[in-house]
Structure 1
Amino acid sequence: MHIIKSKADQPNFAEAIRFWFLLGWISFGGTTGHVTIMHDFLVEKKKWVSNGKFFSALNACMILPGPEAHQLAIYLGWKLHGIRGGIISGIFFILPSILIILSLSIIYALYGNTPLLISVFDGLKPAVLAIIIYATWKVSQKSLISFLHYFVAFSSFICSYFLQIPTPWIIFGVIFISIVIRITAPQFILIKKGIHTMDSREDRYYVNMHQAPNKTSLKIISKQLIVFIILWFIPFLSITFLLVDTLFWQKLSLLFTQSAFLTIGGSYTVIPYVANLVTNKLAWLSKSQMIDGFALAETTPGPLVIVLSYVGFMAGLNHFNGSLLMGTIGLLTASYFTFLPNFIMIFMGAPLIEKSQKNPTIQALLSLITAAVVGVIVNLAFYLGEGILFSGKMISSVNFNPIAFGWVLFSLLLLFKYKLNMISLILISLGFGVLRYLLMF
């Protein structure tokens, strides 16, 4: 007699490792690209994760601070093969990006002021601005679903761009306001109904919507917290007391740890927050160097937040008078303290979020946070636009760069009308930069 299994077998661990390793090298295109690749392989091809569970996991990661694509990889690796699966998937997702951005940062430090690379960046940066604008439009289409959401997005932009209010405070304000509105006037918050319903045969998938949330308790959370503190504190002490200039390394470590925990909404919220601090308050980088970092980050696989690794490199390089060694240590430090919190937030926070995901207050909160993220992305576009369209100088017709503006419009045309993927746009823009160099010399 043929027996139908009520649940699929656990996927092969070695095959999962191969996928996570490959993902780290091919995950171009930002969060949308990362999510698409993971969905195609894990849901459509292998049927390891059900469609409903995949998007439920994505929503859970959006509630947590930090880059949701990296957290989603950790989450799915964890659901498939436990803690070891989450650690491996999370490391492999970012390791190629770190290695590539380190190589590009060294090249930039050595040859960034040469005419060829200057011209290449002049071709690449307008395309990056177009990609940010395109991302804003894509996010706003799904998240701005009522007048209140538009108001939150607009207010978030005003607060971040004109009032210079740090992103964490904006997000905290939105959280407070959304809870108040949900309690006092819930009719003003429209909760978008989920479009990713359960598959009629969820049990075909190893990870599915029928599974109970992973077990958690105060004891488990306490153990995980202790492990995280050890993993954070030992490198912090080693870096700050074994290297010269203790104060600099303390500030660097604390800045990236703080940004990881306080920026809900992914890469587009953490980047403006860090960019403002390192260029204006701490003066570790010039605004031009920061914008060049965006261009470098767009050419690598992995999350856009990898630009923070570049920030660590340039901070160490500039602070220690052009030392590539200190720049490399700065990059590794920034990477470690940026991505380490993602693991603990998934292992500790995801089980709690799984239990409360259907709570209407949580859904309302997520809805307005996403709207606020749109405003922060617009702030990022303005930040980049000032440096790209006006060559980092005061906004005026005299400083306006018509070639850069024209390439932004051309890039937007390719993205919106012809649906060109981002990697192709980056390659075309690199070619445009090389062509400009050849025509000038």
Structure 2
Amino acid sequence: MAEPSFRELTTTFARIGILSFGGPAGQIALMHRELVDDKGWIEEGAYLRALNFCHLLPGPEAQQLATYIGWRLHGLKGGLTAGLLFVIPGAAIILGLSILYGYAANLAWFDALFLGIKAAVLAIVVQALIRIGRRALNSPFKRILAFAAFLALFLFNLPFPLVVLGSGAIGMVVAAVRPDWLKLAPPKPVDAPPTPRRAIIGHTIRAIIAWGLIWAAPMALVLLMLGQEHILWKIGVFFSQLAVVTFGGAYAVLAYMAQEAVQSHHWLNAGEMADGLGLAETTPGPLIMVTQFVGYLAAFRAPEPFSPLMAGILGAGLTTWVTFAPCFLWIFAFAPWIERLEHARKLQGGLAALTAAVVGVIANLTVWFALHILFTRVAEAHAGPVRFYVPDGESFAWTTALLAILAAILLFALNRGVMVTLAICAAGGLLLGAL
């Protein structure tokens, strides 16, 4: 196996960070081609074990995989370099687009442009639902779990963390008594790690303390200078919580943000959330960078005592910090356990059940987006613990529906990529706006 220099590692991950379009699937495939096939820096089995490990963690699995590989090759500085280079290009672009969005919103041409992006995002989310569902729901029990998760969120408005973590707990129990319900693959034989357990525990404790302090540092500063009522404190707390419970990728994150940022905090509306996902889809880096867009708008619209631009930049920066600092914590604290976790059948069962529940989470997001994008007025009705969405038929947005059909044709019938679909639908929105 080749041993790269630190300079080679830096230039390679800089290139990966700039080219990492296409969401986690495309990013994982890109790293596999670069690091396993082309350069031979990590063997196939180790790459797959690392990927399985990252799926067990909250947060963006592709960024965490990059951090782990950097750590494996060059220790702490390698992990930091690989992880940061995976994030920085996309974060810089999203920040610039968020600034443009904050100032250009409500302009006729800008609204027309994002009309097409909203419609395309609806088709993209449907595509993600189908792809993930085909892969994850390979047993009747998993299909039941996904449907139950959908009902729990859509009809009963249960908290996202409760649904996801509860599904994981169910999966751990089922893995112990009826593993065939989850269709778990047999564990691969691997050599036990040579590092003694006591040394690994000491490493884990030190990493948790160090990165916990790094994670909390900007929040302590906000608390001392601005207090708990300031928007920056609320943003930091919200996205810190999000970083702990966001299993299942960016689309699952969006479901939780839609439930909280839109409906509870009122930082933005459903259409703006779709705009943010559209921006994240067109930029390199993890799709979870959409959180930066939300943090920017939340602070931009409640800027005191700063200017709107400065508040927005601070909100975006704080959001990015509390979103990705935990990713480094998970990797640096738990990476030495990776070979041992390969044999943890209960954890594998919890992950399988959690992945199935995420299909229900994304289904909830899909229906929620469709209602709020295709209808300009959607009311909520309640019958005991059950919550219903009631769209106003007279508010049906036929232009959005037309563009969504165009996006579906491009994605499903013509097999066009996300970038092409977004570009064509954005142009269609401008054309319809002009007409």
Using structure 1 for the length normalisation, give the TM-score. Answer: 0.89
How far apart in 1 are the matches of 2:265 and 2:194?
A: 43
Aligned 8 A contact 1:24 1:92 in 2: yes
Equivalent residue for 2:293, pick from 301, 310, 334? 310
Q: Helix, strand or coil: the match of 1:281?
A: coil
| Alpha-carbon distance change, 211 to 191 in structure 1, aligned in 2, over 3 angstroms | closer
Equivalent residue for 1:284, pick from 245, 254, 267? 267
| Alpha-carbon distance change, 192 to 386 in structure 1, aligned in 2, over 3 angstroms | farther
2:392 counterpart of 1:379? no
How far apart in 2 are the matches of 1:213 and 1:275?
A: 45
Aligned 8 A contact 1:213 1:354 in 2: no
How far apart in 2 are the matches of 1:396 and 1:337?
A: 39
What amino acid is the match of 2:409?
Answer: L
| Alpha-carbon distance change, 9 to 185 in structure 1, aligned in 2, over 3 angstroms | closer
* Alpha-carbon distance, 1:55 to partner: 2.0
Equivalent residue for 1:59, pick from 49, 52, 62? 52
Identity among equivalent pairs (%): 33
* Alpha-carbon distance, 1:254 to partner: 1.5
- 2:335 aligned residue: 350
Aligned 8 A contact 1:191 1:364 in 2: yes
| Offset from partner CA, 1:80-128 (integer Å, 9 cap, x none) | 2211111111111111111111111111111111111100000111111
How far apart in 1 are the matches of 2:122 and 2:401?
A: 10
What amino acid is the match of 1:222?
Answer: I
Deviating more after overlay: 391-400 vs 309-318: 391-400
- 1:251 aligned residue: 234
How far apart in 1 are the matches of 2:61 and 2:360?
A: 18
Structure 2 unaligned regions, length at least 5: 380-390
What amino acid is the match of 2:34?
Answer: F
- 2:313 aligned residue: 328
2:128 counterpart of 1:148? no
2:424 counterpart of 1:416? no
How far apart in 2 are the matches of 1:261 and 1:312?
A: 17
How far apart in 2 are the matches of 1:143 and 1:252?
A: 32
Equivalent residue for 1:231, pick from 214, 224, 229? 214
* Superposed counterparts of 1:255-266, under 5 Å: 255-266=238-249
Aligned 8 A contact 1:148 1:189 in 2: yes
* Alpha-carbon distance, 1:245 to partner: 6.8
What amino acid is the match of 1:295?
Answer: G
2:302 counterpart of 1:319? yes
How far apart in 2 are the matches of 1:19 and 1:46?
A: 10
What amino acid is the match of 1:423?
Answer: M
How far apart in 2 are the matches of 1:53 and 1:233?
A: 32
How far apart in 2 are the matches of 1:121 and 1:351?
A: 45
How far apart in 1 are the matches of 2:95 and 2:341?
A: 40
Compute the RMSD of aligned alpha carbons. Answer: 2.2
Q: Would you identify which runs of 4 or more consecutive aligned residues in structure 1 move more than 6 Å?
A: none
Using structure 2 for the length normalisation, give the TM-score. Answer: 0.91
Deviating more after overlay: 35-44 vs 210-219: 210-219
Deviating more after overlay: 87-96 vs 48-57: 48-57
Deviating more after overlay: 409-418 vs 127-136: 409-418
- 1:168 aligned residue: 161
How far apart in 2 are the matches of 1:136 and 1:25?
A: 26
Q: Helix, strand or coil: the match of 1:47?
A: coil
Aligned 8 A contact 1:213 1:351 in 2: no
